[in-house]
Each structure stands twice: as structure tokens, then as C-alpha cells.
Amino acid sequence: PATKQRVAVLGASGYTGAELVRILLQHPFVEIAALTANSQAGQPFSAVFPQFATQKSLPDLITMDDVDYDDVDVVFACLPHAKTQETVKELPENVKVIDLSADFRLADVDTYEEWYGKPHVAVELQKEAVYGLTEVARGDIAEARLVANPGCYPTASQLPLIPLLKEGLIKADDIIIDAKSGTTGAGRAPKQGTLFCEVTDGIHAYGVASHRHAPEIEQGLNRALEAAGAPPTAVVNFTPHLMPMSRGILETIYVKTEDGVDAAKLKETLKAVYDDEYFVTVLDDGTVPQTRHVRGSNHCIINVFDDRLPGRCIIVSVIDNLVKGASGQAVQNMNLVCGFPEEMGISMAPVFP
């Protein structure tokens, strides 16, 4: 029988922290040992998230300094960017870490500094970090001590694009990603741009030509090209948009195909890769994936369509940004690291209506 893992969630007062707690409460082999939120230390978790008032077993919030890491097997780090590097450096080496920030996603530390504006302070740890796109790297993840959980937008884009690039079916240097996300992607800290009146009744682009997920997406696509023996020439035009909804990501991805390749061939390739995957579904018919089709679940749903322009196809990929785009994939990776069945605790069906 599997041994229960004692888990600490660092930075539990944000949306990804709350989603982790919701998911971990359903996991039969997890015990939540510590929840941290420095500014709310001493309060019950339900004081910060009242929906957990019924969960009497949850520990009260404490500061990170008060966590007894000798009593913890796995740490989920839901901390602000640049904070996790400092924290993980001080953890005992036997503690497994699933990092939901961007601190260890970019393998090149100079690229990290360029996009995040701060020098990397855990360069040696970066060398051992495994990028945790589960369906692509599960073998390496299972052996990892430190897993860099992917960003939400990169998850939804890389899952369809990586197999197509590996098979040489699309042009690597002509990929356009038009992405839409709910406001939870911006975090829980109050800010003007996510106030109700700023978001409702409208849609706006942000991070135009400068969003930090662009180099993360390109890193994954270029790794796929190199694995296939091709030069790392992938570049993406990536523009995210903020939608007046709480959760969900929809990406419309425009690709130029190689000669003689159409949507049917792209879909056939994706189905061959993902048919046995629990959490990735490539639709058979002409249904256009919608965010409501995955809400509250760890699923990614994909479909591919011929463009009216010859030699081009349109891919639509949807995930829940808080689940497959964050906390759900983090638990999926924990399951691999701890030797549990991959879908354990995260097999819930989407919530609709």
C-alpha cells in the first residue's frame, strides 16, 4: 500500500493555493501538513477562503519560517516570482518540490533575468529542475526532486504544437497564438486592471509583444525540434487577452503546414499521440472546444480545422487555467514524483453549467 505524503502549500492564500487545497482534499494518499500565508498567519484557512469552513481537518495558516520541513515530504510553492528560488535553496534535500511560479521554468538563467528583471539566485538548482509538462516529460518528472510546473498559456499551446513540430508537419517559424484567459490568471492581489468595472463588458489584450510566457513556449517548441533532429527555429507571435470570466483559457493557434498536410493529418497525428492519455482529448468531429467544456477539471481539449487559406490550419485548445494550467498539473506531477497513479485525486469531470 502507498504511504501518505505529508504536504506543505507555501503561499496558500492565492487562487492556485486554494485550488491546490480543493484538489488535495480529494487525494487519498495526501495529508495537508502545513499551509502558509505570512500576512494571514494565525488565521484558519476558512477565514481567507470561506468555502473551506466545512473542512475541519485543515491546519491554520502559518508563516513559512514556522513550517517544520522535517515533517514534510512534498512542498507546493505558490509564491511570487523570484521568491521560490530563495526558499527552495534552504529546504532539506529530501523534500520534493513542485514549483508553480516561473522561477525554474526557463533553463537559461540569462533568459530568465531578461524576462523577469532579476538575476537567478539558484543557478545550481536550475540545472536539476525538470520542466513539468506531464504528457511530454513524465519519465524525467518521475525521477525529479524539483519540478517547474508550466505556465497556463504554455500548457495549452505546447500540448498540440509539440507533436506536430516533432513530426515536421508545420512551419516552426510561422506560429500565431491568440490566447484568452479568465481573470484568476492575474492572481488574487487587488489591482486596478482586474477590478469588476475594468474587466466586465469588455475584452482587452495585454503583454502585447512582451508577455513572459512567450520564451517559455518557444523553449518547449525548440526542445521538441531538437529532439526530432531539426534546428531550433521556433518563434511564436503570442498575444494574451483578459476575458470577463473567472477561469479558463482558450487558445486559437494559427499554423502554416508543410506541403500536402491538412487538418485531417494534423488531427490524426495528435490522436495517435494522445489517444491513451487521460487528460488530453482530441475531438473527432467538428466541435469547437470551449472553456466551459473543461471548467474545474484537469483536462485539455483540442480540435484542428482547415483554414480557408490554403496551406494553413487552425488549432483550438482549451484548459482550466487553475487546474491543468496550474494546481491540477502540479498534483499530476506530484503523483509521478511519488509513484502514485497519475490521475489520482484529479480525475474529476468538468463542471457545467
C-alpha 12/C-alpha 27 separation (Å) is 17
C-alpha 72/C-alpha 5 separation (Å) is 8
Q: For residue 319, is pLDDT > 70?
A: yes
Q: Of 117, 119, 249, 239, whose CA–CA distance to 183 is shortest?
A: 249
18-27 residue pLDDT tens: 999 999 999 9
The phi and psi torsions of 40 (rounded to 5 degrees) equal -115, 15
Instruction: Please report how many Cα atoms fall inside a 13 Å half-sphere around the Cα of residue 223, on the Cβ side.
Output: 16
Amino acid letter for position 349: A
Beta bridge partners of 276: none
**C-beta atoms surrounding 124 within 10 Å:** 7
**pLDDT (0 to 100) of residue 81:** 87
39-93 residue pLDDT tens: 999 999 999 999 999 999 999 999 999 999 999 999 999 999 889 999 999 999 9
SS3 141: helix
Q: For residue 201, is pLDDT > 90?
A: yes
Residue with grid cell 505529508, as numbered in its chain = 6
Q: What is the dihedral of CA 280, 286, 288, 289, to 10 degrees?
A: -20
323-350 residue pLDDT tens: 999 999 999 999 999 999 999 999 999 9
Q: What is the band of 190 on the pLDDT scale with cuts at 50, 70, 90?
A: confident
Q: Of 70, 5, 73, 75, whose CA–CA distance to 35 is shortest?
A: 75
The CA angle 109-114-116, to the nearest 5 degrees, is 85
SS3 98: strand
238-274 residue pLDDT tens: 999 999 999 999 999 999 999 999 999 999 999 999 9
C-alpha 263/C-alpha 353 separation (Å) is 31
Amino acid letter for position 296: G
Q: How much of the chain exceeds pLDDT 70, in percent?
A: 100
C-alpha 69/C-alpha 65 separation (Å) is 10
Q: What is the dihedral of CA 162, 275, 140, 70, to 10 degrees?
A: 120
Q: Of 219, 88, 217, whose CA–CA distance to 146 is shortest?
A: 88
Q: What is the band of 3 on the pLDDT scale with cuts at 50, 70, 90?
A: confident
Give the chain's mean pLDDT: 97
DSSP E strands in 258-350: the ranges are 280-282, 300-306, 312-319
Element (H, E) at 146: strand 146-148
Residues 6+ apart with CB under 8 A from 18: 12, 49, 51, 52
Q: Is 84 in contact with 136 (CB distance < 8 Å)?
A: no
SS3 182: coil
**Catalytic residue set:** 152
Please name the residue ranges forming H helices in the chain.
15-24, 45-48, 83-89, 109-116, 123-128, 134-142, 152-166, 196-199, 213-227, 263-274, 328-338
By residue count, the chain amounts to: 353
Q: For residue 1, is pLDDT > 80?
A: no
Q: Of 278, 294, 293, whose CA–CA distance to 335 is shortest?
A: 278
pTM: 0.97
**C-beta atoms surrounding 327 within 10 Å:** 30
